[in-house]
Homo-oligomer: A and B are copies of this chain.
């Protein structure tokens, strides 16, 4: 595939999808005040995924599509060109806040991330990366991450992972929370990944994410020198749910080794 051409195409349909979402919002939200907000959102989510599938298949019918709403094919291998799409990441924010959600798209060739996109729809900010060519926000290059120590770091972690749970020991997480400068939780994995890639946070972790939450962000992370892995420091697997961490390289290993103990 011609990367430059695919990039222009991807960027244009993501922006168009964002416009459609903003439009659906302002139209439907007004008239359907009594409708169940969840149904409404599910519809916009699905319509957006169908929009992506149609456009992508028109562009090249050989491309495979893995989407959160499951309207694409069943994918059991990353052979060929695979688009991994989350039409709306941060559904609860979408419903309740009408902001702080994103479209996330990763384009992989034989399992290698070639292009990654996180589009903060309401801020109209498009983070993207082209493998080997750097990462950008609205076409301005993102800077390489500077080293930082853990005690000066801001990390994105939801409060629930600091309470007793089935997946990890919560006591080391409590130590982590106390060690760092501060924590944040925004309710959109892809926007938290974008924050780390942009240097606004130094790490983000979650105990359970799906391929579409991280596929776009992983390409962007790579281009700014952030490290993305699962919680035992193995490469992320885009065919299954798993734990996930993205961090400034100066603290990635320290967090995993000292603070994350899987059960």
Contact = CB atoms under 8 A, between A and B. Distances in A.
Interface of A: 92, 96-99, 154, 157-160, 162-164, 174, 177-178, 181-187, 195, 199-201
Contact of A92 (B92, B97, B181): B181
Contacts of A99: 200
B184 A160 contact: no
A192 to B, nearest CB: 11
A157 to B, nearest CB: 6
A167 to B, nearest CB: 15
Give the 10 A-B CB pairs with smallest separation, nearest first: A97-B200, A159-B159, A163-B174, A185-B185, A159-B183, A159-B162, A159-B177, A184-B185, A92-B182, A162-B162
A120 to B, nearest CB: 11
Nearest to A154: B96
A177 B163 contact: yes
A169 to B, nearest CB: 13
Contacts of A177: 159-160, 163
Contact of A174 (B92, B164, B195, B200): B164
Contacts of A96: 154, 199-201
Nearest to A185: B185
Contacts of A187: 154, 182, 184
Which of the listed residues A99, A159, A177 has the most CB atoms from chain B within 10 Å of its own CB? A159
Contact of A158 (B92, B160, B163, B183): B183
Contact of A162 (B97, B98, B163): B163
Contacts of A181: 92
A163 B162 CA distance: 7
A96 to B, nearest CB: 6
Contacts of A159: 157-159, 162, 177, 183, 185
A180 B174 CA distance: 21
Given A92-B181, A96-B154, A159-B162, 14 more contacts: A96-B201, A98-B200, A99-B200, A158-B159, A158-B183, A159-B183, A159-B185, A160-B177, A160-B178, A162-B162, A163-B177, A163-B178, A184-B185, A186-B186
Contacts of A186: 184, 186
24 contacts: A92-B154, A96-B154, A96-B199, A96-B200, A96-B201, A97-B195, A99-B200, A158-B159, A158-B183, A159-B159, A159-B162, A159-B183, A159-B185, A160-B177, A160-B183, A162-B163, A163-B174, A163-B177, A182-B187, A183-B185, A184-B185, A184-B186, A185-B185, A186-B186
